[in-house]
Amino acid sequence: MNKKLKSITVITIISLLFFSACNKQAAETSKKSEEETVTSFAVSTTLAVKGEIKDYLQLNGDIAAKTTVDTFADTAGKLKILYVKVGDTVQKDQVIAEVDPSRPGMTFAASPVKASISGTVTQVPVQIGSVVAPNFPIAKISKMDELEVILYVAERFISKMRIGLPAVIKTDAFPGEIFRGSISELSPVVDNISRTMKIKLKLEDPKSLLKAGMFAVVKLITEEKEDIVKIPAEALIKRFGENYVFVIKEDPSSDRQLAEKREVISGLRIDNQLEIIKGLDGGEEIVIRGQTLLDNNSPIKVISTITPIDSTDIVD
């Protein structure tokens, strides 16, 4: 009987040890399974940068010669000779045409028509044999080496305009070229019908590619800020009156990463660049893709890192 009791005791102890080991293994497996089942959101991140941002106003305009003068005959008569054509270069006081002022029964010497300025003939609205008068132009002469862009700015943007504002100019004729200029003239009045103000840009064209009459797309740089924090605009979330981003941080209780919800105050938004006035520092890692499903301290897994936006803002 004692022998049988001893056997039962041994079996019981072995069973207890076995079940204890099983329970321990099950607990460890359950813990590991629990850790594995914690949802980690796949996200892409980038860095907030410190740099500059430029606000601009995009307008359409026309390239024109800064100086254009009409040349008139001194007397009425028939256009006898025309010495120039469109595209010719002339000098001031050069004879460009002759007008015959003769009348029936009266013969007079031909009257010369002289160029008013030096430049390029851009228009000849008459033909030989035409009857001309002192108030009708024989030719239009322009100084093509001095070009400008003429723009019309809506009334609501007038407060941003000032002499010297820089501008970036593009044309359809030269899509790969970028030209520079600046505001040289502001009209003192606003058109009461179109509610626009005329402005002129001094155009820098060292390559002499541009020509009067071309269509131009202009970006007027109205404001420049330096040493500010900026991020890609799509990183910002606007929800229930809050503006916030998710900043990457380490989970102190594990080796996971968490997404911290950080409320921010934003400023200028130019194209895809967003100025952050408060709430974020340059160099902090933020979520740029996959943030819509996140909440504060959501576990995340970074699947890609996006190159940060350039600290220098180049308007082109």
User: Is residue 235 included in any domain, yes or no?
Assistant: yes
CA distance 14 to 20: 10
* Final residue of a structural domain among 225, 256, 291: 225
Could you give the dihedral angle defined by the CA atoms of residues 308, 230, 286 and 283, in that order, rounded to the nearest 10 degrees?
70
Domain boundary pick from 165, 194, 225: 225
Question: How many CB atoms are closer than 10 A to CB 37?
Answer: 7
213/238 same-domain check: no
Give a yes or no: residue 31 inside a domain. no
CATH no. for residue 100? 2.40.50.100
Q: How far apart (Å, rounded) are the C-alpha atoms in residues 14 and 5?
A: 14
Domain that holds residue 101: 70-140
| Residue 23 belongs to a domain | no
Residue 276 is assigned to a structural domain of this protein: yes
Mean predicted confidence (pLDDT) in 121-150: 93
Domain of 291, CATH number, reads 2.40.420.20
Identify the residue with better confidence: 28 or 308: 308
User: Number of structural domains, the chain?
Assistant: 3
Q: Which of 25-34, 39-48, 79-88, 125-134 has the lowest mean pLDDT?
A: 25-34
CATH code assigned at 152: 2.40.30.170
User: Quick one: tokens of 44?
Assistant: 């892409």
Q: Are residues 231 and 221 in the same domain?
A: no
What lies within 8 Å, CB to CB, of 22 at 6+ separation is none
Angle at CA 154, nearest 5°, toward 56 and 268? 30
pLDDT of residue 26: 46
The rounded distance, in Å, linking the Cα atoms of 143 and 64 is 10
Establish if 29 belongs to a structural domain. Answer: no
Read off the pTM. Answer: 0.73
Q: Quick one: 241 and 261 in the same domain?
A: yes
pLDDT of res. 2: 53
Band the pLDDT of 97: cuts 50, 70, 90. Answer: very high
Q: Flag whether 316 is in a domain.
A: no
Instruction: Give the amino acid at 128.
Output: I
Confirm whether 35 is domain-assigned: no
pLDDT single digits (tens) 66-77: 899 999 999 999
